[in-house]
Every structure is written in structure tokens, then in C-alpha cells.
Amino acid sequence: MATVHLQANHAAFTDGVRELEVDGATVGAVIDELATRFEGLGPLLREGSSVAIDGELQPKGTIYAAVGPDADVHFLAPIAGG
């Protein structure tokens, strides 16, 4: 199970839960699982977030990136540049 870390704004949909264990081999699978568990969270994770796996920032919009069984997955606010 990967450990998923959420931001405080995600927690508005999770009853305040910020850290949880999720089964999923890819980012997409993790998001789907979270979206099923917490109504309203899906769009925020899909469109309004960046993702880091084990500290490495993933390409924007990624859903196929592999999530290892012991991975740390952080959902972050969207990162852009100038």
C-alpha cells in the first residue's frame, strides 16, 4: 500500500484526513480509489494538483506513473512557471 499525503484543501473532502494508505499501481488508480472513497475529491486531484512520488515531481497531468507498493505519494497544489 502506498502512503498518500493530501493537502489541507483536499482534507475538506476527506473529513480532515491528510494521510492514508491507498492501493493502486498507478497515479490514476490511486486517484480513482480516492475519488470513490471521497465524493468531490476527484476533480481536484485530476485537474487542480501536481503529484510527487517519493519526492520526485511528476509530469503534469500524469495518471500512468507507477506507484510502488511502499511509495510516498504527495498530491500538491498545481505547479506552474513563468
Partner 1 sequence: MTATENPPSKYKYVGTRPVRHDGLDKVTGKARFAADLDLTGQLRGAIVRSPHAHARIVSIDTSAAEAMPGVKSVVTGADFPAIDPSDSAHDEAVNNIARDEALYVGHAVAAVAATTMEEARAAAAAVEVEYEVLPAVLSIDEAIAEGAPIANSTNRTLFTGDTEPSNIASVGPFQRGDVDAGFAAADVIVERTFTTKAVHQGYIEPHACVADVGQDGKATIWASSQGHFAVRSKTAKILGWGTDKIKVTPAEIGGGFGGKTTIYLEPIAVRLSQKAGRPVKIVMTREEVLRATGPAPASKIHMKMGATKDGELTTIQGTLHYSNGSAKGYAALTGAMSIASYKFPNLDLMAIGTVDNTPKSAAYRAPSAPQAAFAIETLIDEVADQLEMDPIELRLKNAVVEGDPTAMGAPHPKIGFIETLEAIKNSEHYNSPVPEGAGRGFGTGFWFNIGEQSSATVNLNEDGTATVITGSPDIGGSRASMALMAAEELGLDVHRITPIVADTESVGFTDITEGSRATFATGMAVVNACRDLIEQMKERAAVMRGVAADQVAWIDGAAVIEGPPSEGADPVSIAEITAAAKMTGGPLTATASLNAAGAGPSFAAHLADVRVDEETGQVEILRYTAAQDAGTAIHPSYVEGQMQGGSAQGIGWALNEEYIFSADGVMQNAGFLDYRMPVASDLPMIETIIVEVPNPSHPYGVRGVGETGIVPPIGTLANAIADQTGVRMTNLPMSPPNVLKALNER
C-alpha pair distances (Å), 11 with each of 18, 41, 43, 61: 6, 9, 14, 21
Tell me whether residue 4 is exposed, middle or buried, using C-beta atoms within 10 angstroms of its C-beta: 0 to 12, 13 to 18, 19 or more: buried
Nearer to partner 1, 36 or 43 (CB): 43
Contact status, residue 51 vs residue 74, Cβ threshold 8 Å: yes
In this chain, which of 5, 20, 26, 32 binds partner 1, going by CB under 8 A? 5
By CB under 8 A, residue 28 contacts partner 1: no
x/- track of binding to partner 1 for residues 40-79 (CB under 8 A): x--xx--xx---x--xxxxxx-x--x------x-x-xxxx
Contact residues for partner 1 (CB under 8 A)? Answer: 5, 7-9, 11-12, 18, 40, 43-44, 47-48, 52, 55-60, 62, 65, 72, 74, 76-82
